[in-house]
Amino acid sequence: MRLSWQERFAETPGVFKSPQRRQTVVPVLDFAIGGDEFITMAGPCSVETEHQLMTTAHHVRRSGARILRGGAFKPRSSPYAFQGHGLEGLKMLQRAGAATGLAIVTEVMSEEDVSLVAEYADILQIGSRNMENYSLLEAAARSGRPILLKRGMVATVADLLRSAQVVLDRGNPNVVLCERGIRTFETATRNTFDVTAIALIKLISHLPIIADPSHAAGHGDLVPALARIGVAAGADGLIVEVHPDPDKAWSDGEQSLDFAEFDAMMVSLDPHLAIRQKGREPTTQRFQEAVG
């Protein structure tokens, strides 16, 4: 007897699609994540300078992004690497958001910083390294801001859904999941983009899920292909690292796109988005019919 998906993920009933809850639509400024519009979040890995952030924000806005990303508090693999500008970085993000109309997503790394980050950001990002930090998740949930929950680098889909359930249980329904690649035996790429997780989550969960091709690939030249694959798998949006001069980036330059590369990627998504519009996830529809 095959286990149904509901049985397999019985621990997290709240994230499951049901007749009452087919799709969570997360409101952000004057648009939404999880609705009909495919949402692109773009910007540098780290907020570095006013000029770097402003030029990037204006550029990605013109090319169709809705949300500016950028780290002010940075979790780095090395304790000696740039850790972010903190409050100054948040202020730069706020100015760039105000100048362009872009919403802001930025990472919050510790419970103590939640209320500060929530003052400046429209969406709080919980990074991979903190996906299972339940006290941080609870504090972030209580802020009332939408949460972008990135999958841990060694987390299963069940682990990711469990963390999402923690946020929902604290009364915050606005969770956006993010597949950003997981660790496998492969070393040619930074991580392995688990596209199956996107397809599975679209099938079983009402929560929106976006793809992060930048951290999945670790190499800018692979990012556009992974972005297109994310679209084909049904992702509700993308988060992509973009930098005016990736070779000079203070963090994650190797995986960042320059402006021309970002534009080319965005144009290359269009036919894939158009196909999706026509077909509108037949497997998901069948599942929805099956659950009621």
Query: Which residues lie near ligand PEP (CB under 6 A)?
Result: 45, 71, 75, 127-129, 150, 180, 215
Site for Mn ion in 242-271 (CB under 5 A): 252
Distance CA 189, CA 217 (A): 5
Distance CA 19, CA 106 (A): 33
Terminal alpha carbon distance of the chain: 22
- Residue 48 as a binder of Mn ion (CB under 5 A): the answer is no
Nearest distance in Å: CB 97, ligand PEP: 17
Residue 260, Cβ neighbours under 10 Å: how many?
9
Smaller CB distance to ligand PEP: residue 14 or 65?
65
Smaller CB distance to Mn ion: residue 17 or 243?
243
| Sequence letter at residue 44 | P
Q: Give Cα 121 to chain centroid, integer Å.
A: 14
Which among ligand PEP, Mn ion, none contacts residue 14 (Cβ within 5 to 8 A by kind)? none
Which among Mn ion, ligand PEP, none contacts residue 128 (Cβ within 5 to 8 A by kind)? ligand PEP
Smaller CB distance to ligand PEP: residue 14 or 213?
213
Q: What is the DSSP string of 124-170?
A: EEEPGGGTT-HHHHHHHHHT-S-EEEEPPTT--HHHHHHHHHHHHHT
Smaller CB distance to Mn ion: residue 53 or 166?
53
Nearest distance in Å: CB 40, ligand PEP: 14
Which among Mn ion, ligand PEP, none contacts residue 220 (Cβ within 5 to 8 A by kind)? none
Q: Which two tokens stand for residue 105?
A: 């997503």
CB 202 within 8 A of CB 234: yes
CB 43 within 8 A of CB 71: no
Nearest distance in Å: CB 38, ligand PEP: 19
Smaller CB distance to ligand PEP: residue 17 or 180?
180
Which among Mn ion, ligand PEP, none contacts residue 58 (Cβ within 5 to 8 A by kind)? none
Which among ligand PEP, Mn ion, none contacts residue 17 (Cβ within 5 to 8 A by kind)? none
188-219 burial, b for 16+ CB within 10 Å, e for fewer? ebbbbbbbebbbbbbbbbbbbbbbbbbbbbbe
Nearest distance in Å: CB 150, ligand PEP: 4
Distance CA 122, CA 146 (A): 7
100 Ramachandran zone, left/alpha/beta (phi>0; psi -120 to 50):
alpha
Q: Which residue, judged by CB position, is nearest to ligand PEP in the bound state? A: 127
Nearest distance in Å: CB 134, ligand PEP: 17
Nearest distance in Å: CB 155, ligand PEP: 11
Q: State the DSSP H helix or E strand holding residue 25, giving kind and residue range, or none if neither.
A: none
- Residue 45 as a binder of Mn ion (CB under 5 A): the answer is yes
Smaller CB distance to Mn ion: residue 194 or 252?
252
Which among ligand PEP, Mn ion, none contacts residue 238 (Cβ within 5 to 8 A by kind)? none
- Which residue reads 């103590």 in tokens? 112
Nearest distance in Å: CB 278, ligand PEP: 32
Residue 288, Cβ neighbours under 10 Å: how many?
17
Question: Which residues bind to Mn ion, rule: CB under 5 A?
Answer: 45, 252
